[in-house]
Structure 1
């Protein structure tokens, strides 16, 4: 049996299950213990504030059934996840657990469905404001380093990465779960370990940037196939293939295609496609020969509202404002 939950339904279940427990005295003043709703399974999530705007969640629970978790488009915070047990798979081929961690950048997360199995989940989940990157890893001017800008997309589509799990990452996650300290010492210890875990997850990505080469893990033939995939997207902006279709066309797995786009072009295939579509839409609007609806349909958006939202995230103004601005300028 599979249970399907929307983000709203899931939040309501957790809120109802923990209405009373939240009133209980906690082991630490900076911790909140939440029980998994009994309808879903058994276990808990322990939320710990290790720094203002930086929360660590330690989870240990088991589902009674397989779960499909449907998440709408929303503004996502910066997130780092490691699972020591269990696996979460998204509809686009991404996988957390069983060999892979997850870095979910701040920005707009597209609508996505997650598959969670009837199994035990043990791991850690870190949520923080993207602005904290300037606090923990400042550049010479005290700003977020250029190398980390891919984690802060604002109103643009977020960066979503699945770095491989290493022995070191597993060790730090286990140390976090089994923290031996209490009170302020515990908070200090966990803050240090959280930063260490984030660093280990980011290390291979930053090393690839500093190496001035595409990636030591991608063969020359694979790099050529990823470039071909990009050319196909550019040629088919109006009616692009799905990620799986594109991977099949160029002869790589969908996971290799995702990783290759990120390592070669610094973004996901979806974000790259959206960016190019919006640039094309702006050009069409500037020409002033088409209505907004016609432009939206031309670049592959059947829903005018979705097109307007994507356009505003990209340029900070609506298609109507862009069109009016062009006509006013021309006049």
Structure 2
């Protein structure tokens, strides 16, 4: 059963926990370490104020099945990367160890974020005030400028969000942030440098298609990313391509071109890859039968599923469930 919470109810639990278990300040005074409310799960969050306008949050927690309902709000620029775990915000965004998140400033629409139970959630969040983002990365000749214009649209404009692919370089930087070996001034300078490096890598990840093909505008890229998020959250019963295009406000042709440029495949190819990736995780990490996994991943024909799985991973679904390692995963 999913524990559904409003943002205000979640905040009240955090306040109650802070009163019962006072947050701990690190010896160098740079970090505040807070315990996760026991009603939600276990673990902690570390908050580091790197400089005015830039905040770093490091989380290491395991939740129950919970969903937080976040109301419309004015949002800063945000960068987020998961080393492990999942946060599923449905059509808004989906995050796991393969996909991070870059959110612009502006008005964030109401969103429900689901945290699956018994998943070890580890990662980092960076909040940046909009004017600092422009100071750090923006100028008229910067290849990042088109993306920055979308991320910082101006007062009272809707927020734009992007799924950012989590590369090996990004994972390495996140681990260095989490495992920072220094203290005091050296620690602050080290973390500042690593946070700016992480931001640059994520911005590069969502900006590359813009640089490669100016025909794909940043606004269009955001809509294609939204379409991808819809598919990931509806793998069992996805909308057809025409309906998907209508939901995100682009034409069929633009959607096809966008998927090709952003993901290097068709809409159907992307859906198939996401279904098979989910199938592999379920077969390896749960006790579901192959038949149950087939239905969870939206396949109606077990034979078609088995053939697609074998092509993708080089082993059969049953071999995967038995723990055989695929050389292609």
TM range (shorter): 0.5 to 0.7
- 1:202: how far off? 1.0
Give CA deviations for 1:276-305 in whole Å, capped at 9, x if unaligned: xxxxxxxxxxxxxxxxxxxxxxxxxxxxxx
CA distance in 2, matches of 1:127, 1:259: 32
How many correspondences in the alignment?
Answer: 237
Aligned to 1:39: 39
Aligned to 1:114: 113
Superposed counterparts of 1:30-179, under 5 Å: 30-63=30-63, 65-92=64-91, 94-118=93-117, 119-139=119-139, 145-153=145-153, 154-179=155-180
Provide the secondary structure at the position in 2 that maps to 1:27: coil
Change (3 A) 1:180 1:174: same
- Give unpaired runs (5+ residues) of structure 1: 216-222, 230-242, 265-331
CA distance in 2, matches of 1:177, 1:55: 14
CA distance in 2, matches of 1:152, 1:202: 13
Change (3 A) 1:177 1:24: closer
CA distance in 2, matches of 1:30, 1:258: 47
- 1:201: how far off? 0.8
Native 8 Å contact 1:88 1:116 kept in 2: yes
CA distance in 1, matches of 2:188, 2:207: 28
CA distance in 2, matches of 1:201, 1:212: 18
Aligned to 1:26: 26
Change (3 A) 1:248 1:169: same
CA distance in 2, matches of 1:164, 1:75: 25
Change (3 A) 1:62 1:194: same
Native 8 Å contact 2:104 2:160 kept in 1: yes
Q: C-alpha root-mean-square deviation of aligned residues, in Å? A: 3.3
- 1:55: how far off? 0.6
Provide the secondary structure at the position in 2 that maps to 1:39: coil
Native 8 Å contact 1:46 1:57 kept in 2: yes
CA distance in 1, matches of 2:150, 2:256: 15
Change (3 A) 1:169 1:24: closer
Change (3 A) 1:4 1:195: same
Superposed counterparts of 1:1-331, under 5 Å: 1-19=1-19, 21-22=21-22, 24-63=24-63, 65-92=64-91, 94-118=93-117, 119-139=119-139, 145-153=145-153, 154-214=155-215, 247-250=239-242, 260=258
Change (3 A) 1:22 1:202: same
Native 8 Å contact 1:104 1:159 kept in 2: yes
Change (3 A) 1:24 1:165: closer
Give CA deviations for 1:195-228 in whole Å, capped at 9, x if unaligned: 111111111322222223456xxxxxxx9xx8xx
Native 8 Å contact 1:247 1:257 kept in 2: no
CA distance in 1, matches of 2:101, 2:23: 32
Change (3 A) 1:131 1:112: same
Native 8 Å contact 2:57 2:126 kept in 1: yes
Q: Output the TM-score relative to the length of structure 1.
A: 0.64
CA distance in 1, matches of 2:25, 2:94: 36
CA distance in 2, matches of 1:246, 1:121: 27
CA distance in 1, matches of 2:34, 2:257: 35
